[in-house]
Amino acid sequence: MAFAAEKLPPDDTLLDAYSVSIADAVDRIGPAVCRIERIGAGGHGSGFVIAQDGLVVTNFHVVGDARAVRVTMPDGAAREGHVLGRDPDTDIALVRADGSFADVAPLGDSNRLRRGQIAIAIGNPLGFEWTVTAGVVSALGRSMRASTGRLIDDVIQTDAALNPGNSGGPLVSSAGEVIGVNTAMIHGAQGIAFAVASNTANFVISEIIRFGRVRRAFIGVSADTTNLPRRAALLSQVTTNTAVRLRGVEKNGPAANAGLKEGDIIAAIDGRPVTGVDDLVRMLDAERIGRETLCTVVRRTGVSQVTVMPVARTA
């Protein structure tokens, strides 16, 4: 029995649809993308306006320790901007630029992303201003280490070409929403670049607007990753082979006040395994500030549950 071949649209129709998707997204977001320069210092990067009163998102490594920056829009208008806050742990900074802005770039929901969907990068690479590159979302849920040594979670990997100067610019979906903040590329690699997810950026922006900084929980310990003996894992009811050993406990800090001591092993927090230092840092987020936190602690004498009350980190 013969089957009729399915009639497919011609190649030029498919190409046109792809081109139109990208062009429409660029038309929507492009006017809100800006060039950012530190006043009195070299170097430049990108950013994008998220509110008509001049809120601009960029990377921490673009603004550094600068208090003032120059924000230049695609129409050539240059405004002075002041850095409202910065978060080195996620490489996000928030700037307030003088004046009002008609065009804004809305932040989308990065939790809805799928591998393979269109990803468009807009920025100012290598001095070639307002350059557009396109690719796809290559992977989701990557982790990348920030300049502070802390892991940035939920990072988007894309093959949209990035170069120095793209940093801080938007990664855009075909729907015309910002899905990430372009932050890094791998030198010598082809088609591997990273963006901080829009939901992470949204959280950081909210914290900076409310508190001037990003709050994170602090318990006053230094630690390293250690192997967790099988017997200890069974007693603590975790399924991992590693945990965190406390190398130091700050006097009069939350951990010390709760009875934690140097040499203690934290195997879990609120029932969730702590497989290493990065897990410990990740779990001590703003939601745990002032909230009783149950630590599963392994000692020579056995396994115990210790309740710690984290406080806000001050630096």
CA distances from 137 to 57, 79, 192, 193 (A): 21, 33, 10, 10
Q: Which candidate in 89, 91, 264, 279 is catalytic?
A: 91
Q: Which candidate in 46, 138, 167, 173 is catalytic?
A: 167
For the chain, what is the mean pLDDT? 91
270 is catalytic: no
91 is catalytic: yes
Interval 166-207: pLDDT, tens: 999 999 999 999 999 999 877 777 789 999 999 999 999 999
Interval 131-153: pLDDT, tens: 999 999 999 989 888 888 888 88
Interval 56-95: pLDDT, tens: 999 999 999 999 999 999 999 999 999 999 999 999 999 9
Q: What is the pLDDT of residue 35?
A: 96
Q: Which candidate in 46, 61, 138, 173 is catalytic?
A: 61
Number of H helices, E strands in the chain: 6, 20
From the list 111, 129, 126, 127, the residue with the least C-alpha distance to 73 is: 129
Check: CB of residue 216 under 8 Å from CB of residue 280: no
Segment 146-167 shows an average pLDDT of 89
Segment 225-239 shows an average pLDDT of 86
Q: What is the pLDDT of residue 191?
A: 83
98 is catalytic: no
Check: CB of residue 291 under 8 Å from CB of residue 310: yes
Q: What is the pLDDT of residue 12?
A: 62
Contacts of 304 (CB under 8 A, 6+ apart): 296, 297
The amino acid that residue 168 corresponds to is G
